[in-house]
Structure 1
Amino acid sequence: NLSKYLCWMLYLLAKHQDVQKKVKAEVQKILVTEGAINYGTVTKMQYLEQALKEGLRMHSSPSGFVTRLAEKDIDTGSVVIPKGVSILIPTYILHKDSELWEDPERFDPERFAPGNNKPVEVDSIAFQPFGAGPRNCFAMMFSKVILMLLLAKVLSEYRLVLNDDHHKVSA
């Protein structure tokens, strides 16, 4: 998954030059004040983390599901889920739900800015690219730091741009 998320982030940053510019400025500031990009400094890059979270939200694995077992009967009002039934939560659909996310198709790292807790203030499991709860991905923190390190290193040296034919590529 790391390589998939890295590719999506490189694409999103190339497509959204305004976001790339802000991330590059943050990376350059860290290089000036701290002298290096490493574990200790990359975790200080708030805007880079916001951009990464937004990329993870937008491009969760379409085949990714969080699976849970109903511990009791659940009545949703229109459906009753009996105790013991497996519940599959498709994270891709969850992350694109317009009831949870304002303008969900728009790439907007500001939705993860400190103090902007929507939709998290409404539902703490609305964002779960690595799953949620006690059975979430055990490598979640490692993965986020590795992705941030790779992105910071690339952006410290390069400006990402899309070629004119990028819109012709099919997913």
Structure 2
Amino acid sequence: THDVVFTDRPKTAAGSAKRLESYEYIRREEVLALLGDLYRGGAGASRVVVLKDYLSTVSLNVITRMVMGKKYLEKEVRDEAGAVITTPDEFKWMIDELFLLNGVLNIGDSIPWLDWMDLQGYIKRMKKLSKMFDRFLEHVVDEHSERRRRQGESFVVKDMVDVLLQFASDPGLEVKLNREGVKAFTQDLIAGGTESSAVTVEWALSELLKKPEVLAKATEELDRVVGRGRWVTEKDMSSLPYVDAIVKETMRLHPVAPMLVPRLSREDTSINGYDIPAGTRVLVMVWSIGRDPELWEAPEEFMPERFFGSRLDVKGQDYELLPFGSGRRMCPGYSLGLKVIQVSLANLLHGFTWRLPDGVELSMEEIFGLSTPRKYPLEAVVEPKLPAHLYAEA
């Protein structure tokens, strides 16, 4: 109702559904690589695996290929003079640090006169990260701009940075996009797309390990719809309502951003009898909405069945379930995030059996910040259950 009041920047299109579909081959290749890596990394020998490591890699590879045109976890990035811009370890550290620092409660944000003291050391860390990330993004933009200049008339858009640079060079664009905007958008796409997928899939499998009967129903649906002779594709997802319900239920209980991204009121307004002055920071607590007993029956229970026969969706129209937000400031990559989460989870359930190591009781503690990952990474014994040649192809 008050969306316009609480948005502090105009909507900018960074892509389209059609372009998203054109990148399906990237998502397919990286999910297959995940399954092959998991098989070779321990599942083939029924060893314990730390799932988050694999999920973060596939998410990061999908995002960087779609956004910047290549992977950044395989080798060092160097400039034309041969100087190292970033290493795979540095790149992963930057992503982790970016998410951590975006979620911390910095005292100076709430008590401005204390800001200069940097009591928690966050400002110092932010400045270091900002310098490193800016150097990397400058290289990415330069590299894309040079390819565009070099190819001239024959230039073809390959990735999202190309799309953003095309927007930036359009003189007729109502909302101007400059170089800093291109870098900021690129950073948002990388960070937002990486953490959300990995965290959600890890929570989904955690909940399923605590509810074997739900896991059995999902496996039955996959065997019936897909069969055991191939992997699951994005086109299968519309025929897998139970897997879809598991994803929605996971997002209800474990939203990636428990308080969404902060908003700022543009003008004085009044909501439910409360006067909200212009310039007020506003947080939407979707974590609490998803556990509200007035909205949900047995809210602490993991019950995917609650979404059967329900029109509730995660697209921002149903205010009981807002994992990606709503309105003009809704997550621009929600469609991509959903696709990666659904097809990753479906294939992990389809290709492997899952159980906890002997004698292990699963903790469901979470870390509360910008995102809510598990406090302790999920460790599970994973065994392949499809024909061996499928893993060899992955």
Query: Normalising by structure 2, what TM-score?
Result: 0.38
The Cα shift of 1:35 comes to 5.4
The Cα shift of 1:168 comes to 5.4
The Cα shift of 1:66 comes to 4.4
- Give the aligned residue type for 1:31: V
The Cα shift of 1:39 comes to 1.2
State the percentage of identical aligned residues. Answer: 26
The structure 1 residue matched to 2:301, chosen from 106, 120, 142, is 106
The structure 2 residue matched to 1:39, chosen from 231, 234, 259, is 234
Q: What does residue 8 of structure 1 align with?
A: 203
Cα separation, 1, equivalents of 2:285 and 2:345: 27
The Cα shift of 1:20 comes to 0.8
The Cα shift of 1:50 comes to 0.5
Give unmatched runs, 5+ long, in structure 1. 118-122
Cα separation, 2, equivalents of 1:17 and 1:109: 13
Cα separation, 2, equivalents of 1:34 and 1:72: 60
SS of the equivalent of 2:284 reads strand
1:45–1:34 distance in 2 versus 1, CA, 3 Å: farther
Q: What does residue 73 of structure 1 align with?
A: 269
1:31–1:169 distance in 2 versus 1, CA, 3 Å: closer
What does residue range 1-171 of structure 1 map to in structure 2 within 5 Å? Answer: 1=195, 2-32=197-227, 36-61=231-256, 63-70=258-265, 73-77=269-273, 79-82=274-277, 85-115=280-310, 124-163=318-357, 164-167=359-362, 170=365, 171=375
1:133–1:34 distance in 2 versus 1, CA, 3 Å: farther
Cα separation, 1, equivalents of 2:321 and 2:327: 12
Higher helix share: 2
1:132–1:20 distance in 2 versus 1, CA, 3 Å: same
Higher relative contact order (CA 8 A, sep 6+): 1
1:169–1:97 distance in 2 versus 1, CA, 3 Å: closer
State which structure, 1 or 2, has the greater radius of gyration over its C-alpha atoms: 2
CA contact (8 A) 2:203 2:250 kept: yes
Cα separation, 2, equivalents of 1:34 and 1:127: 35
- Give the aligned residue type for 1:125: Y
Give unmatched runs, 5+ long, in structure 2. 1-194, 366-374, 376-394
Cα separation, 1, equivalents of 2:333 and 2:363: 35
Cα separation, 2, equivalents of 1:38 and 1:7: 20
Cα separation, 2, equivalents of 1:44 and 1:19: 17
The Cα shift of 1:12 comes to 1.0
Cα separation, 2, equivalents of 1:169 and 1:110: 21
Aligned Cα root-mean-square deviation (Å): 2.7
The Cα shift of 1:84 comes to 5.2
Cα separation, 2, equivalents of 1:129 and 1:151: 17
CA contact (8 A) 2:204 2:247 kept: yes
Cα separation, 2, equivalents of 1:159 and 1:152: 12
The Cα shift of 1:154 comes to 1.3
1:148–1:93 distance in 2 versus 1, CA, 3 Å: same
The Cα shift of 1:114 comes to 2.4
C-alpha distance after superposition, 1:5-24 (max 9, x if no partner): 11111111111111111111
Cα separation, 2, equivalents of 1:33 and 1:24: 11
Cα separation, 2, equivalents of 1:102 and 1:81: 32
1:75–1:152 distance in 2 versus 1, CA, 3 Å: closer
